[in-house]
Amino acid sequence: MPEISLTTLVLLCLAALVAGWIDAVVGGGGLLLLPALLLGLPNVQAAHILGTNKAVAIVGTTGAAITYARKAPVQIKTAIRIGLAALAGSMGGAFFAAGISSAVLRPVIMVVLLAVAAFVMLRPSFGAKAEGEERAPLTRARIVTAIVVVGGGIGFYDGLFGPGTGTFLVLALTAVLHLDLVTASATAKIVNVCTNAGALAMFAYQGSVYWQLAGVMAVFNLIGGTVGARMALSKGAEFVRGVLLVVVLSLVAKLAFDQWA
């Protein structure tokens, strides 16, 4: 592992804390954590950045998933089935990630963010549940679509690149399974644990994880994830949507500045 100054370590731990909170509320904590690792470890290969990111993220995501599972109306069986497909997809994506250069990550993240921002802004009622509205029943077709597209497709993306996976899971689960944003966030956390596990297993096999650094950052990520899940449960879908827009637009501005300034 490269030498890291105390200042850099503190900043990375703060980034892990905030990323854990963001990931629990709206997903996409990697959109903060991954750029932070890229800036803090500028001369490190992309595979090690991605692997360390997964080792940190899985801890906070697990904490958030447990918090949600205790209080949110999550169908655990459906989430696990999607998660198993996501695990397989993320392992496949991680296998190909070793050949990815750090130089291509920032533009990819920017495109991802812009797409998410445009979608959420154009659909202000997306993921909102009207008072007294009953959730649509889950049909077999929608469950199969969620397993293949949400699980396999986004799982592969998570292993290959990673940033924004939680956000994409929330959006896709809301669209495919007709969930409100809070329930989608809860379900996404369970699926995201599986994608992180699959990708992390492959990165660990390839020796692309800085375990000591990840261990320290993971403590802060866990705290952020647990607090974020509790806030999302108490404040509801409008709070989740508001945080989603603020996070996405802020990160677009920051990455655009880093890319062209």
pLDDT at 132: 44
Question: Is the dihedral angle over the CA atoms 227, 197, 88, 48 positive or is it negative?
Answer: positive
pLDDT at 123: 67
pLDDT at 85: 93
Q: Which two tokens stand for residue 102?
A: 């750090």
2: helix, coil or strand?
A: coil
pLDDT at 121: 75
Helix pair 165-177, 105-122: axis angle to 10 deg: 30
pLDDT at 31: 75
162, with CB counted inside 10 A (0-12, 13-18, 19+), is buried
The stretches of the chain forming alpha helices (DSSP H) are: 6-25, 30-40, 46-71, 76-97, 105-122, 140-145, 154-160, 165-177, 181-205, 211-235, 237-260
Q: Which two tokens stand for residue 50?
A: 């991605």
Helix pair 46-71, 30-40: axis angle to 10 deg: 150
- Counting every residue, how long is the chain? 261
User: pLDDT tens for residues 72-110?
Assistant: 778 788 888 999 998 898 888 888 776 666 566 667 767
C-alpha 48, offset from chain centre:
18
Residues 160, 100 contacting (CB under 8 angstroms): yes
pLDDT at 131: 42
The per-residue pLDDT string of the chain (261 residues; one tens digit each, 9 = 90 and over) reads 778 899 999 999 999 999 899 888 877 787 788 888 988 888 888 889 989 998 999 999 999 989 988 887 787 888 889 999 988 988 888 887 766 665 666 677 677 778 777 777 776 655 555 444 455 566 788 889 889 988 899 888 877 776 677 778 888 888 888 888 888 888 888 888 888 888 898 889 989 999 999 999 999 999 999 999 898 888 876 787 777 777 677 767 766 776 676
pLDDT at 127: 53
**Cα distances (angstroms) measured from residue 206 to each of 150, 153, 195:** 26, 22, 17
pLDDT at 226: 93
Give the whole-angstrom CA distance, residue 226 versus residue 77.
22
pLDDT at 103: 61
Neighbours of 223 (CB within 10 A): 17
29, with CB counted inside 10 A (0-12, 13-18, 19+), is buried
C-alpha 2, offset from chain centre:
26
